[in-house]
Amino acid sequence: MQHPILVTAIRAARKAGDIINRSFARVNEITITSKAHNDFVTDVDQRAEAAIVEIIRRAYPDHGILAEEGNRIPDKDFEWIIDPLDGTTNFIHGMPQLCVSIGIKHFDRLEHAVIYNPIHDELFTATRGGGAHLNDRRLRIAQRKDLDGALLGTGFPFRDFSYLDTYLATFKAFMLKTAGIRRPGSAALDLAYVAAGRYDGFWEFNLKPWDLAAGALLVQEAGGVATDFTGDQGFLENGNIVAGNLRVHAQMLHIISQEINKPKA
């Protein structure tokens, strides 16, 4: 039986997904504004977030909220970390790689996760200690033993280019050691794909908590490892994440550490 908080998160994600689906076929009619360079928001993001927050506030009025489009309600016990539409740029261009992401934290520990791609009707869920699921199927992370033949996911810098050279060094190192690298444009969904075994690993720099919270718990509950670049659990604070099974994660972490700490020419 699913935890009541997870049930509420699923209901909220599906409600937001309905809003996204109704607008996906007519993206030429949506309102688009720019929050910063290459960082867009639409009225669909805002309406989806409002629908999520309304459902949460009705069920758990005392819980805290940290949401991408501005809803902030502090609470020291429970915090809902929300991205109502991860992959907004994809959505604007009619590309179906996008999702609703909701992670719930209790006393600084991630406890529940929902990632929902409404276009493909794929619902990824996890509760700490209860495993990860895609719709009704239990997920297990890919069991590849090393990077040889691995398929990795990543995200390119698009707002802050101050770390671009370091990122490109890690990209080159992984490109030379793996079967391929993909960059579809939704970090939350990429992490869900690691949990589902579609990717063998994932890494990215400088993300936000709402990009990471739900996906990191999915990876962990599918039997994988998700850490920051030091091997600790600081990814929600510093935005850097590497994920995979135990062996792939260790190899990725080693390469990333080498490139980050390499003396500058």
Q: Is 211 annotated as a binding residue?
A: yes
Measured between alpha carbons, how far is 16 from 13 in angstroms, rounded to an integer? Answer: 5
- Kind plus residue range of the DSSP H or E element containing 72: strand 72-73
Where residue 40 falls (left for φ over 0; alpha for ψ -120 to 50; beta otherwise) is: beta
Q: Is 83 annotated as a binding residue?
A: yes
Q: Is 111 annotated as a binding residue?
A: no
N-to-C CA span, the chain: 56
Residue type, 172: K
Q: In what order do the strands lie in the sheet with 72-73?
A: 72-73, 64-67, 78-86, 99-106, 109-117, 122-127, 132-134, 137-138
Q: Is 68 annotated as a binding residue?
A: yes
Measured between alpha carbons, how far is 51 from 121 in angstroms, rounded to an integer? Answer: 18
Sign of CA dihedral 64, 66, 71, 76: positive
109-117 vs 122-127, strand pairing mode: antiparallel
- Reference 155, options 212, 225, 226, 218; nearest CA is 212
Q: Is 45 annotated as a binding residue?
A: no
**Residues 6+ away with beta carbon under 8 Å from 72:** 65, 66
Residue 14: CB atoms within 10 Å: 17
Instruction: Return the CA Rg of the chain.
Output: 18
Structure tokens at 153: 């996911």
Contact 114, 130 (CB under 8 A): no
Residues belonging to the binding site for Mg(2+) are 68, 83, 85-86, 211
Residues of each annotated binding site: 68, 83, 85-86, 211
